[in-house]
Structure 1
Amino acid sequence: MAEFILVAGAWLGSWAWDDVARELRAAGHGAHPLTLSGLADKQGVPAGQQTHVRDVVDEVERLGLRDVVLVGHSYAGIPVGQAAERIGDRLRRVVFVDAVVPVADESFASMWWQGQTAFEARLAEDDGFWVPDAADFDGQGLDSEQLARIAGGTTPHPGATLTEPAVLEGSLGELPATYVKCLLDGAEPMDDVAELLKSEHWRLVEMDTGHWPMFSQPRELARVLHASARA
């Protein structure tokens, strides 16, 4: 059995994984949802991107885990991908759930469709935070109860984590990885992900749901994660 570190994307905390973690534990795995600094129950904690990388690495080391599967959803793919390099032989696999993957010297903002300058301007309008917008969750296979749950739990995301560049020591293509593509959020992976999927170490899994499968299809996502640990 594996030890899963579960990291949700922007605006979310460990609570987002409650349903998935329950399924993983029922299957005999360890499941350790993690809130990144500055979010949810850790609001007010200063955070840059490398803070979030350390959050992940420190959790693995604090718990003394081995056979670790790091799971990064959406934005969290950036710190999780960097952390996967840094935990050495503790890593069994890294799973990117409809995620942005880290690119050396690039930030989340620089890879955003409107670019770093536009993103920084948006952050400045909200005191340095990325504020969730209900429209972002439309058309993603979420019912009214799931939307209400998300709306009740989201918190503004600290902007420095989104504008600071990633630091990579090697090629992500050398890591054992699974990429989960949620088809309601686009039929094809982003170009940088498509390139990584050419590696013999990477696998692609598709889910017929939207960008937040931990809410829309938690049981199915848990099955994907279980299978990834055996890949």
Structure 2
Amino acid sequence: MATFVLVPGAWLGAWAWEDTAQALRERGHPALPVTLTGLGERSALATPEVGLDTHIDDITAFVVEQDLRDVTLVAHSYASVPVTAAAGRLGTRLERLVYLDSAPFAEGMCLLDVMPEDVVNQLHQQVAEYGDGWQLPLPPVELLGTLSSLEGLDEGRLDLMRTRATPQPFRTFAQRLNRPGELAPDVDHVVVACHDAQALLDAGMPELAFLSQSPWRRFHLPTGHWPMLSTPVELAETLDTVVSSGH
């Protein structure tokens, strides 16, 4: 049994994890989805000041205030940035760190650093035109990624994303990671790669080579970038395998 803390990516709240969390509970695991400040049911808390540090504090406080132990912390997409820092604050509470179609960030990096320049420019334009200069609405589908990253999202699931997504405080994308901290030495390091991440890892990108080496363990989930929506039960099965297979 593992205690899962599930952190969603940009524009999403805890709602996105509902089906996966239920499937994990049916397998005997406590599963606790998180909604970060300014998103989902906490959208009323969004302000221009909400940034990466806010979300790092959210994740840390969620674990500490509930006195959670033996935590498997799962970071989807954007959440990899605040989770990288929060994980270093959790000490012995953290048993396992899982990057879901994402990867850890180095000190001094921000999410915009890993995006092509033309995409960054388009996002800035959307923030200026539709987000009052500080919020990023969910972009049109064609800007969300490749066709392979959207695999498994039928029109119903895409409509669910469009309907329930909330604008992302843009400072969370632009603020740089500061002093992420060190993990406890026995923390299990895991990557669950969907199609696009798997392709990058298989291509042998030098920047990602460490994810194919010890202490990292790698699992493949054959779906697009939003597996909690496209294949929620299969995601739960993969996470169950991750914890049952040990370090």
Q: TM-score by structure 1 length?
A: 0.90
1:217 aligns with 2:221: no
1:204 aligns with 2:218: yes
Pairs within 5 Å for 1:92-171: 92-114=95-117, 118=121, 119-120=123-124, 122-125=126-129, 126-127=131-132, 128-135=134-141, 136=144, 139=147, 140-141=150-151, 142-167=153-178, 168-170=180-182
Q: CA distance change for structure 1 residues 81 and 173 in 2, over 3 Å: closer, same or farther?
A: farther
Paired residues, what number? 231
* Residue of structure 2 in register with 1:188 after alignment: 200
> Identical aligned pairs, as a percentage?
34
Deviation readout 1:85-132 (Å, 9 max, x if unpaired): 110011111111112432201111122221897354553333211221
Q: Using the alignment, how far apart are the partners of 1:212 and 1:82 within structure 2?
A: 23
Q: Using the alignment, how far apart are the partners of 1:40 and 1:188 within structure 2?
A: 30
Q: Residue 157 of structure 2 aligns to which amino acid in structure 1?
A: Q
Q: Is the 8 A contact 1:120 1:163 kept in 2?
A: no
1:12 aligns with 2:18: no
Q: Is the 8 A contact 1:97 1:181 kept in 2?
A: yes
Q: Using the alignment, how far apart are the partners of 2:219 and 2:109 within structure 1?
A: 25
Unaligned runs of 5+ in 1: none
Q: Is the 8 A contact 2:221 2:238 kept in 1?
A: no
Q: TM-score by structure 2 length?
A: 0.85
Q: CA RMSD in A?
A: 2.5
Q: Using the alignment, how far apart are the partners of 2:173 and 2:157 within structure 1?
A: 26
